[in-house]
Structure 1
């Protein structure tokens, strides 16, 4: 499983379990096969940025011995502070000084498209300024044909682990910075989602900045 994410000054911890490999992947920064190095001690592998030495992630093999089998299932695994403490104990026992920080921040939130303008270098892309409940608007480049100002949408923030296994991180699309993604139903793997482009438009009474919880919303698509 190749996990990618954004390096951030804020706490970032994305954990995912692969049953076939019997491995828990703990990602804290953006990785690249060209700029990373790894070190293995026992059943723990630490991955660092080659140039800076910054921790990128940790692979825990046979993680049920650390967390118990009830905490694990294929795909993204949400861990609380107590579970992260167990991972840190395993790191220490293996002889590593690196430590992970618990991260419970929701990565899929409700946003409001406040402004929208054409992308200067594309006929189909647009630049959205999105209110996601933070102090500043978030700039996101979007290519969905149904995007419009005044919509409430699902925002995948940097660090969001998509159902496809992809992790969202800041980047550029045709020379314009983008700090997240606006999501279609199919990208969220929602039941009976149409397999075509188009954002999931949320009800007008959806709360901006709140975590996206499908069961609590009246969704139509």
Structure 2
């Protein structure tokens, strides 16, 4: 946002506060004192090559430079470099009805790195055996929303199964329902290819 870089480490909490040292603001949870994120108010003074607005992807060197700036300002260098893709192709390995809902499902989704994620989903078109788009923990949706662990009607959920419109794909249907992928074009465990997917609804 302009020359301000917002970084997020943990989800927002009900009671949070901030402290500023120089051009860096630390956001923290009042109860636990855990850091939720840092705002770098003059980001290009630290990262001269930083460009773009909205979500940006930093490399390991840039994260290291931010941590050095945190330490120099008197903060703990808490930022961690994470190169794993946050939008991946997943496979609906199992599907069960939610015990406290007539429309939610509990899905076991095979993703990358031999992981299986439990994700609660309310899409009417979800079925076992589908290839789907998974927004993993730490993903930022095109509308700016962050994906964090949560609970839906008491059942833990570790990610989100995405509709085409939620991915902001061109000409995406506005009806409810997740995007079901062709298993030949989109392989399980691969990073979701937004450029290829941009052609899915082009006449």
Q: TM-score, length-normalised on structure 2? A: 0.90
Shift of 1:86: 1.8
Separation in 2, partners of 1:61, 1:92? 16
* Structure 1 residues not aligned, in runs of 5+: 1-17
CA change 1:98–1:133 in 2 (3 A) is closer
1:48 pairs with one of 28, 31, 46: 28
Matched residue, 1:10: none
* Structure 2 residues not aligned, in runs of 5+: none
Separation in 2, partners of 1:169, 1:100? 17
Matched residue, 1:210: 190
Number of positions where the alignment pairs a residue of Structure 1 with one of Structure 2: 200
Runs of 4+ in 1 over 3 A off after TM superposition: 216-221
CA change 1:180–1:128 in 2 (3 A) is same
Matched residue, 2:107: 128
Separation in 2, partners of 1:101, 1:133? 20
Matched residue, 1:27: 8
Separation in 1, partners of 2:27, 2:142? 24
SS in 1 for 2:180: coil
Coordinate RMSD, CA, aligned: 1.8
Shift of 1:199: 1.0
Q: How do residues 1-221 of structure 1 correspond to structure 2 at under 5 angstroms?
A: 18-19=1-2, 22-34=3-15, 36-68=16-48, 70-205=49-184, 206-216=186-196, 220=200
Shift of 1:99: 3.4
Shift of 1:77: 0.7
SS in 2 for 1:91: helix
CA contact (8 A) 1:29 1:57 kept: yes
Higher relative contact order (CA 8 A, sep 6+): 1
Q: TM-score, length-normalised on structure 1? A: 0.84
Separation in 2, partners of 1:93, 1:133? 37
